[in-house]
């Protein structure tokens, strides 16, 4: 009886899996799962590359012929090969591919024209065809949905904005009327430079600030006076400086429009916040303009006060146009455009600096 029980016990023990065999089984399963995962990933990657290649070939056959250009990588195109010195980079490409070439920037295609004759054809002879711009996400948000002259698509609104700029804002009569505002800022700069005689001075920075103050004064310097004008001007320039920083920031949503809804870098959110700050500044100026109805008052020197660009734009807005009216968003976007153009442009600062050095 005892021998029978011992034999049964040994038989049961022999049939049970040992802990070592369980560990070995789990390890083998993990290895198999890893191999399957990498195999499926490789197959999926090959399928995606094949689909991308097939769509690229199909699109190239259906679309008009494009100019030559450097070959890019899948999905990213030529983004990784761009040089920070774009002018020298484009010059080198033009020597290889000719005066007109293409670049693939993510999912978008950019056409580069390096010849003056071709640029004349694009910008002058066929300006209407190429009038529309590929506006970046930050630019679209910062201009109230493309309400300025640069971002607006070609159409009735764009023609209305161009008419307002040419006939009302930048006409000879309007520029002559803001002469007093320009003179005031130049006098302030001269007085400041005179007070710093014998002290080191950053000429380039002072010229830039002078130009910026002149433009700001022309925009709404006749509406806001005194310390309030200086306070609002400093706050306005701070907002504009942050906006220009966002406009120059690379945004993945600009190269892959399908990702724009996710705003992965938060550029659209930050630009919307800055636009809200600009709105608050603008509303302060508008409220002061609305409370002051007399435009022909005298200043401290006994001369008539100058009308600024804001007053001209508000007059056009109040006059109205049944077909294409000038909206408050257009007014804000135009004022923002003129201020940003000064921040981006270094030409006037360089010329003034060189002139003082001669």
pLDDT at 22: 42
Which residues are CB-contacts of 37 (< 8 A; sequence separation ≥ 6)?
Answer: none
Location of structure tokens 């090959």: 46
* Best CA proximity match to 214, nearest among 184, 177, 172, 173: 184
Distance of CA 162 to the CA centre of its chain: 21
* Best CA proximity match to 236, nearest among 96, 124, 338: 338
265: tokens are 């870098």
Contact 108, 237 (CB under 8 A): no
pLDDT at 275: 93
pLDDT at 96: 95
Gyration radius of the chain's alpha carbons: 32
pLDDT at 69: 94
Distance of CA 351 to the CA centre of its chain: 26
- Dihedral, 237, 239, 244, 245 alpha carbons, nearest 10: 120
pLDDT at 32: 62
pLDDT at 116: 92
* Best CA proximity match to 326, nearest among 153, 148, 166: 148
pLDDT at 9: 47
**Alpha helices (H) along 144-293:** 156-164, 172-177, 179-195, 203-220, 226-247, 252-255, 267-291
DSSP state of 306: P
* Best CA proximity match to 130, nearest among 141, 142, 121: 121
Q: Which residues pair with 101 in a beta bridge?
A: 112
264: tokens are 């992965």
C-alpha count within 13 angstroms, C-beta hemisphere, residue 286: 14
The domain defined by 139-348 carries CATH number 3.40.50.720: no
pLDDT at 255: 93
C-alpha count within 13 angstroms, C-beta hemisphere, residue 59: 10
Contact 138, 249 (CB under 8 A): yes
Location of structure tokens 């580069």: 112
Q: Which residues pair with 298 in a beta bridge?
A: 304
Burial 96-128 (b: 16+ CB within 10 A, else e): ebeebbbbbbbeeeeebbbeeeeeeeeeeeeee
pLDDT at 348: 53
* Residue pLDDT tens, the chain, 358 long: 555 544 544 544 454 444 444 444 545 556 566 766 777 777 777 777 777 777 666 665 556 688 999 998 888 999 999 998 988 999 999 999 999 999 999 999 999 999 999 999 998 898 888 888 889 999 999 999 999 988 899 999 999 999 999 988 888 988 898 899 899 989 988 998 899 888 888 877 788 778 888 888 888 876 666 667 777 778 888 888 899 889 889 999 999 998 999 999 999 999 999 999 988 888 888 877 766 654 445 555 555 567 889 888 988 988 877 788 999 999 999 988 888 877 666 555 555 555 555 5
Sort 163 into a burial class: Cβ within 10 Å, 0-12 / 13-18 / 19+: middle
Q: Which residues pair with 100 in a beta bridge?
A: 113
Contact 124, 118 (CB under 8 A): no
Estimate the share of the chain in helix, then strand, then coil, as percent rounded to the nearest 5. Answer: 65, 5, 30
pLDDT at 23: 47
> Cα–Cα distance between 119 and 219 in angstroms, integer?
32
pLDDT at 18: 44
114: tokens are 């390096």
Domain ranges of the chain: 79-130, 139-348
> Cα–Cα distance between 285 and 282 in angstroms, integer?
5
153: tokens are 């698509």
């Amino acid at each position: 009886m005892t021998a029978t029980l011992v034999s049964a016990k040994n038989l049961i023990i022999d049939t049970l899996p040992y802990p070592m065999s369980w560990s070995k089984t789990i390890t083998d399963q993990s290895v198999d799962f890893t191999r399957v995962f990498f195999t499926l990933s490789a197959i999926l990657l090959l399928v995606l590359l094949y689909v991308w290649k097939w769509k690229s070939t199909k699109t190239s056959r259906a679309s008009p012929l494009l100019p030559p250009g450097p070959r890019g990588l899948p999905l990213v195109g030529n983004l990784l090969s761009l040089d920070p010195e774009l002018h020298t980079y484009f010059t080198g490409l033009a020597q290889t591919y000719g005066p007109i070439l293409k670049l693939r920037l993510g999912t978008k295609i950019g056409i580069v024209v390096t010849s003056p004759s071709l640029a004349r054809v694009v910008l002058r002879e066929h300006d209407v065809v190429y009038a529309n711009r590929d506006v970046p996400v930050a630019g679209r948000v910062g201009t109230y949905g493309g309400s300025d002259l640069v971002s607006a698509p070609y159409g009735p609104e764009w023609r209305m904005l161009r008419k307002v700029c040419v006939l009302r804002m930048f006409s000879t009569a309007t520029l002559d009327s803001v002469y007093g505002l320009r003179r005031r800022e130049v006098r302030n700069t001269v007085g400041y430079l005179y007070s710093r005689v014998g002290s080191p001075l950053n000429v380039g920075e002072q010229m830039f600030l002078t130009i910026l103050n002149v433009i700001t004064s022309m925009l709404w310097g006749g509406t806001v006076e005194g310390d309030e004008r200086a306070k609002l001007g400093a706050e306005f320039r701070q907002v504009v400086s942050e906006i220009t920083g966002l406009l120059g920031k690379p945004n993945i949503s600009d190269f892959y429009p399908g990702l724009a809804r996710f705003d992965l870098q938060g550029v659209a959110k930050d630009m919307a916040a800055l636009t809200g700050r600009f709105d608050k500044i603008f509303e302060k100026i508008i409220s002061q303009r609305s409370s002051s109805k007399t435009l022909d008052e005298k200043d401290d020197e006994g001369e008539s006060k100058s009308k600024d660009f804001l007053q001209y734009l508000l007059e056009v807005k109040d006059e109205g146009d049944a077909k294409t009216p000038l909206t408050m968003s257009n007014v804000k976007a135009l004022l923002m455009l003129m201020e940003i153009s000064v921040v981006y442009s270094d030409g006037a600062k360089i010329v003034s600096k060189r002139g003082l050095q001669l």
